[in-house]
Amino acid sequence: MLNIKMLKPYYVKEDKRFIRVVLAYQYFSMFIDNELYQFIPMESREIIIDRNRKRVHNVFDIFVFQRGKNMVYVSVADLLQLPEFLTHLHTIVSPYYEEGIEISQQSSEEVKEIIRELERNNLRRLIDKAIDQKDEDTFRLLTQKWNKMYS
């Protein structure tokens, strides 16, 4: 029987697609058949979560736990069957989902502002071009548009 005693990330690394929970031996321990085992980073050392699907990506990876000379190999898929593990994992990664949403909303506003700036500069260039070509009708049309949009 598996029970989580402690699960804390050594650190969390994120990119656009994944959240990586990196583990170290001091921060992850389990009771296996009522005996305390410490995580050792022999095979796998991280849990990778896909941001879009909000699912663990590396379910077939193996974690190694040690007590004295005894070693136990536990797959990520087996750990995902433990409600405690899911609770700990959710607590660790949930701030990164929220932060990602804020960043994407902020980026969206920045993109909109850049587009507005480009449109404004383009309209200025068209007005300058109409002046250079002495095209009075186009100049009037564009300046009326400018006044509607920016005055």
6 pLDDT higher than 60: yes
Q: How, if at all, do strands 62-67 and 35-40 pair?
A: antiparallel
Of 88, 105, 122, the domain-final residue: 105
Same domain assignment for residues 32 and 47: yes
Q: Which of 44, 36, 34, 35 is nearest to 74 (CA)?
A: 44
User: Residue 98: pLDDT band by 50, 70, 90 thresholds?
Assistant: low
120-136 pLDDT, tens digit per residue, is 889 899 999 999 999 99
Count how many domains the chain has. 2
Same domain, 50 and 85: yes
- Quote the CA–CA distance of 27 and 7 in Å, as a whole number: 6
Asked whether residue 10 falls in the same domain as residue 72, the answer is yes
Q: What is the pLDDT of residue 150?
A: 80
Residue owning tokens 């929970």: 21
Same domain, 82 and 123: no
**Domain match, 48 and 101 both:** yes
29 and 56, same domain (yes or no): yes
pLDDT of residue 95: 84
Looking at residues 46-67, what average pLDDT do you find? Answer: 91
- Give the rounded distance of the alpha carbon of 26 from its chain centre: 25
Residue-number span of the structural domain to which 127 is assigned? 108-150
pLDDT at 68 over 70: yes
**Residue 54 reports pLDDT greater than 90:** no
Q: Identify residue 146 by its one-letter amino acid code.
A: W
Pairing verdict, β 11-14 and 35-40: unpaired
Residues 101 and 118 grouped into a single domain: no
- Considering the domain architecture, whether residues 10 and 79 belong to the same structural domain is answered as yes
- Read off the pLDDT band of 3 (50, 70, 90): confident
Binning pLDDT at 50, 70 and 90, where does residue 73 land? very high
Question: What pLDDT does residue 149 have?
Answer: 84
